[in-house]
Structures are given as C-alpha cells and as structure tokens.
Amino acid sequence: NVWIKNPDGKSSVFAQGYEYSRGAITDGSLIRAKGDYKVYIVKGSYKRHILDSRIFDFYGHLNWANIMEVTPEERDFYKDSAWVRADGDKKVYEVNNDKTKHWLNMTAEEFYVSGRSWDGVFIVNNQERDFYRTGASVVYK
C-alpha cells in the first residue's frame, strides 16, 4: 500500500498494493506501474496518460481506488496514445503533456499513412476535450 502524490502537488491517493495480470486489464481500466506516478487509461492495445487529476472529475466512473498497480513491463505492453475525439465530434486531437490539444487536420488516409492508428483514438466527453488549451493544428506533409 502506498500514497501516490500527483505531480500537480494538489492531490494524493492511497492505493492498494495489488498487482494485476493483463487478463484482468480491460478497456477503461486504470493502470499505474509500480514506482511510477503516471496513471493511464487502457483501450485495446493502447494506453493514454491522464495528464491532470481533474480529469477524474469529468467522469463518474473514474475512481482513484480502481487504479491497478502493474509491473513496468505490463504497462509497456500497451502502446502510448495521445489521440482523443469527443463523442459526436469528428475532429481528432493530439494532446501534449503541456495540456494543449492539436487538431489533426488531415484526411483519414493521411492519418493512417503518418503512422497513427484509429484503434488508438480515445473517445472523451466534451468537458475533457474543452479542458485542454487549443494549440496549432497538425497537418500532414
């Protein structure tokens, strides 16, 4: 068992010291590697870093007590994704660690050719999408 202090310095959580196997990790699971503060949400073979503890407030189903502690190797099994799309919105954004969102202003083919995968796009609610500051659009070149 351990207290996890978020990098924002404003909140912390007491986490049970359980380790989970990949079979227990399903879409929507929250994971954190042992010894790391970063919390991720999982979808398929992708994980997305939850950049700010306030994101939990935007979703009734996200709960600090549900974070699964995994090995670093289990965390690294999942590919990183920073791509989000709000439910009902066609625009896909890339969210950077500085909490800026950048519209991926490209065709579906350009998205794919650029090495991105539709499987890595996480559906978020409008509140989370609007939480991020808007940065410059990303265009395919």
| Tally of structural domains, the chain | 2
Domain final position from 80, 98, 117: 80
Query: Which residue range(s) make up the domain with 23?
Result: 2-80
Same domain, 11 and 35: yes
Same domain, 104 and 125: yes
Same domain, 88 and 108: yes
- The DSSP symbol for 79 reads E
Same domain, 12 and 68: yes
Same domain, 94 and 68: no
Taking only the tens of pLDDT, the chain with its 141 residues reads 444 455 555 544 445 555 445 568 999 999 999 999 999 999 999 999 999 999 999 999 999 999 999 999 999 999 999 999 999 999 999 999 999 999 999 999 999 999 999 999 999 999 999 999 999 999 998
CA angle 122, 127, 129 (to 5 degrees): 45
Q: How do 40-43 and 30-33 pair as beta strands?
A: antiparallel
Same domain, 63 and 126: no
Note the pTM of the prediction, 2 decimals.
0.82
CA angle 23, 46, 105 (to 5 degrees): 160
